[in-house]
Amino acid sequence: MKKRGAEENLPNRFVKQVYEIPAPDEFDIPEEEKVSPQTQLFVDESKTIISINDSPDIPFVYSVNPYRGCEHGCIYCYARPTHEYLGFSLGLDFETKITFKPDADKLLEKELTKKSYKPEVINFSGNTDCYQPVERHLKLTRKCLEVVSRFDHPYTIITKSSLIKRDIDIISASAKKQLVLVGISIATLDPALATKMDPRAASPNSRLNTIEALSAAGIPVGVVVSPVIPGLTDHEMPAILKAAKEAGATSASYTILRLPHGVKELFTKWLEENAPGKAARIISRIKELRGGKLNDPERFSRMRGKGELADTISVFFHLNARKLGLDNPPPALRQDLFNPGNQLSLGL
């Protein structure tokens, strides 16, 4: 059984009282159940599906998230604190208590056919991975892609899952009309490190194979080197870019590690347990990027960091991207083809 990223639940910052009831010693709890509790699914009864972003450092306005929480369990995930708004913890709860929107496709169709709707590129997903393991069975992302494809609506996808290959039939049809871009996220090429950081996500080799499959199908695909962790993975940027280019990537971007709220505590503990000889230096370099802190929520600098080290990482990335021909911006997506008349019965 695969392990989880977090080994515990941190207290929810919105909950004032916390009760801890340890299991009595006489309870014979299997070791695998201690570290790998079963995933639980909860129905999300939201009445809307499109989230609107007004942050100028994020390259999309609309996003669709069929799921909240993410079973991939990436220890560094900046989205973990959003689970606290649901009354859960950003620790184990985030990766074991997954909410889903069963009518995601119907909600999306309803919003796209409103008379007031103005087409903008929709990103799948802005928060948690739309191709996390539960998607294999629920197929909510695929159903949403069927809607945007039918309406000739532009969209982007960011994922670290090979499951996206299942939907190449839909995505490639959109690509022929210049309606889609895909980004595959890769933080490291080291399979052992990836297993520890992203315990239930696709392996680095599988992600490269995914880039190759998408590219072969005529789908424009870029590599997202994310997160760049100074002192742990930053030296891998040239190798990641080269491997992605050879697999068929045509563009590249990167983001620096972000540690909002309790993610700081989770990641620091993970470092001490998994990279004890490097932990102090890594933490020091993160603080160097963040004005002496472990996190900087300011727009723009939160994605790139600031200071001399941030500038060095930026130059290092762009020099290597330029050398490989990955420094060109991806093609603009067409918005003039949007046809809200291609609708079916909503059934709502």
pLDDT at position 343, please?
A: 63
- The pLDDT tens digits of the residues spanning 260-298 come to 999 999 999 999 999 999 999 999 999 999 999 999 999
- The pLDDT tens digits of the residues spanning 72-128 come to 999 999 999 999 999 999 999 999 999 999 999 999 999 999 999 999 999 998 889
- The pLDDT tens digits of the residues spanning 6-65 come to 878 888 887 764 444 444 454 444 554 444 679 999 999 999 999 998 888 788 889 999
In sequence order, which residues have a C-beta less than 8 Å from that of residue 140 and are 6 or more positions away?
Answer: 66, 67, 100, 101, 102, 104, 105
**Are the C-beta atoms of 203 and 182 separated by less than 8 Å?**
no
Cis peptide before 125 (omega within 30 of 0): yes
| Residue labelled with tokens 């306005």 | 61
Q: Which domains does the chain have, with CATH numbers?
A: 31-323 (3.20.20.70)
| Residue labelled with tokens 């909510």 | 140
| Residue labelled with tokens 């989880």 | 4
Over residues 120-147, mean pLDDT: 96
Sign of CA pseudo-dihedral 242, 247, 250, 255: negative
Q: Is 291 left (phi over 0), alpha (psi -120 to 50) or beta?
A: left
